[in-house]
């Protein structure tokens, strides 16, 4: 969601990822999987510096739940179930820059980047996005683009250590309704 005037914009973004990886069987491990679920919410304020350039600050809430479940081979031919899970939630302050172009009120172009964390939440986080879109009418538009998010979070020690040093990326499709 986004609300804006000629000079100011308030933006928000909701993100959910459900990542899963099977564990490769070997002499010790029969089977298993590792999962990480990430819920992210961003709220930011931007100021238009030039007709095509905005800059601002915001915050990004990250909530991560990671889990590992495996079946370990035992001596004698059986298996034993083992599992562990950890969850963390933190807020990263972020600094944002956004370039936008609108050609003939039909074609839309956006490039956006941010950096954050600074040791307050994560050690460092960053994001880059690029989109091209088409405005069908004053009310409806759609964009397609690519998003890359990097998060380096490392807190705690021993069994309570939570390390989330992940880069996620992929295609994004937006559908917009303007009023």
The per-residue pLDDT for range 8-37, each reduced to its tens digit, is 999 999 999 998 999 999 999 999 999 999
User: What is the torsional sign of CA 103, 134, 38, 149?
Assistant: negative
Q: 176 vs 15, 32, 123, CA distance in Å?
A: 16, 40, 33
CA 11 to chain CA mean position, Å: 15
Give the pLDDT confidence score for residue 159 in this predicted structure: 82
pLDDT bin (cut points 50, 70, 90) of residue 46 is very high
Closest CA to 15 of 60, 54, 58: 60
Tell me the per-residue pLDDT of 64-94, one tens digit each, with 9 for 90 and over: 999 999 999 999 889 999 999 989 999 999 9
pLDDT bin (cut points 50, 70, 90) of residue 160 is confident
Sheet of strand 79-103, all strands in order from the earlier edge strand to the far edge: 2-4, 8-22, 29-50, 53-73, 79-103, 107-116, 124-135, 140-155, 162-177
Is residue 54 predicted with pLDDT exceeding 90?
A: yes
Is residue 171 predicted with pLDDT exceeding 90?
A: yes
Looking from the CA of 125 toward its CB, the CA atoms found within 13 Å total 27
Segment 42-61 shows an average pLDDT of 98
pTM of the complete model = 0.87
Segment 120-138 shows an average pLDDT of 97
3-class state of residue 76 by DSSP: coil
């Amino acid at each position: 969601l986004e609300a804006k005037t000629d000079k100011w914009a308030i933006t928000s973004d909701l993100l959910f990822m459900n990542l899963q990886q099977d564990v490769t069987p070997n002499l010790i491990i029969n089977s298993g999987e590792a999962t990480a679920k990430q819920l992210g919410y961003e709220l930011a304020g931007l100021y238009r510096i030039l007709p095509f350039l905005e800059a601002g600050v915001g915050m990004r809430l990250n909530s991560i739940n990671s889990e590992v479940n495996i079946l370990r081979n035992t001596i004698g031919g059986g298996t034993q179930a083992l599992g562990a899970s950890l969850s963390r939630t933190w807020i990263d302050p972020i600094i944002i820059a956004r370039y936008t172009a609108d050609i003939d009120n039909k074609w839309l172009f956006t490039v956006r980047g941010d950096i954050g964390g600074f040791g307050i939440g994560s050690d460092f986080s960053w994001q880059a996005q690029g989109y091209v879109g088409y405005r069908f009418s004053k009310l409806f538009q759609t964009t397609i683009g690519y998003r890359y998010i990097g998060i380096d979070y490392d807190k705690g020690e021993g069994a309570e250590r939570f390390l989330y040093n992940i880069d996620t990326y992929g295609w994004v499709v937006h559908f917009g309704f303007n009023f």
